[in-house]
Amino acid sequence: MKIYLSGQLVDESEAKVSVFDHGLLYGDGVFEGIRAYHGRVFLLKEHVDRLYESAKAIALEIPMTRGEMARAVVETCIANGISSGYIRLVVTRGVGTLGLNPYLCKKPEVIIIAAAIQLYPPELYETGMSVVTVGTVRNHPEAINPRIKSLNYLNNVMAKIEAINSGVLECIMLNPQGHVAEASGDNIFIVKNGVLKTPPVWCGALDGITRRAVMGIAEDAGYAVREDVLQRYDLFTADEMFLTGTAAEVIAVTTVDRRTIGDGTPGQVTLDLQRHFKEYVKVNGTPIQAN
């Protein structure tokens, strides 16, 4: 496998970063997870834009243009013969001292990995998944804003530990006010009386690219879509529930904290959106081809 490492494609065995990199020492950096489908990098521009906005928010200046970054992603896919797969884009603060000061890190490290994807077990898409709400509160927006896709994912990792300890694969995190924020690595939607609802990002969610795509797909399909503050009560009494994310795509949730959602199987709206999403990914991406 070839890895893009700060300007060059190098062999996996040579793709190494320093132990003094602040990405490692402090989780100081940003990242993106992107899919490639059918020879296209899905919504590449949207992912690159979010990466640069995450970087801006942490005062990290990425040493290449957005266009160069998008090009590097495509080149990395070509170098690895990837037409469908998973791309991880990472920008770290770079090598510095053992102290926190990011201004002593002179050169951010840019890493692009294009590989196969690890998905949820396929049967979960048939049956829907079970989730729990967890005690780990989503980051306060004025601590690390959840809109920043930073390398500091301990908040989500700790929530994921609670999910796994409870015997499920994903969990719902609440914000400091006790309102629904998102899952540990996905956004959440409910359907109630035919209306799709998802928490606004200010409730503590990542501005998910799949979330945004699904909101558009749903509106085009004639569904009413609303950003609404949601309480756990709204989850327990929802007609349908599903999660969206780069890895999960659109996946039904059929139990929350042992309350059955709807009739306990993926709902009709969820199934309809899954079908639309499968078509959407075929035509919304940057072709993986040489310039």
Q: Contact positions toward ligand PXG, by CB under 6 A?
A: 33, 156, 182, 185-187, 206, 208-211, 244-247
**The one-letter amino acid at 62:** I
**The one-letter amino acid at 123:** E
Dist CA 108 CA 106 (whole Å): 7
Written as six digits, the tokens of 283 are: 């035509």
Name the minimum Å distance from CB 99 to ligand PXG. Answer: 29
Name the minimum Å distance from CB 149 to ligand PXG. Answer: 7
Residue nearest to ligand PXG (CB): 33
Written as six digits, the tokens of 261 are: 């959602």
Dist CA 95 CA 29 (whole Å): 12
Q: Is 192 a catalytic residue?
A: no
Name the minimum Å distance from CB 104 to ligand PXG. Answer: 29
Of residues 206 and 273, the one with the C-beta less far from ligand PXG = 206
Of residues 33 and 176, the one with the C-beta less far from ligand PXG = 33
Of residues 155 and 254, the one with the C-beta less far from ligand PXG = 155
Of residues 4 and 86, the one with the C-beta less far from ligand PXG = 86
**Burial grade of 146 (CB within 10 A; 0-12, 13-18, 19 or more):** buried
Written as six digits, the tokens of 56 are: 């801006």
Cβ–Cβ contacts within 10 Å for residue 258, how many? 8
Name the minimum Å distance from CB 96 to ligand PXG. Answer: 25
Q: Which of 45, 56, 106, 149 is catalytic?
A: 149
Catalytic (active-site) positions: 149
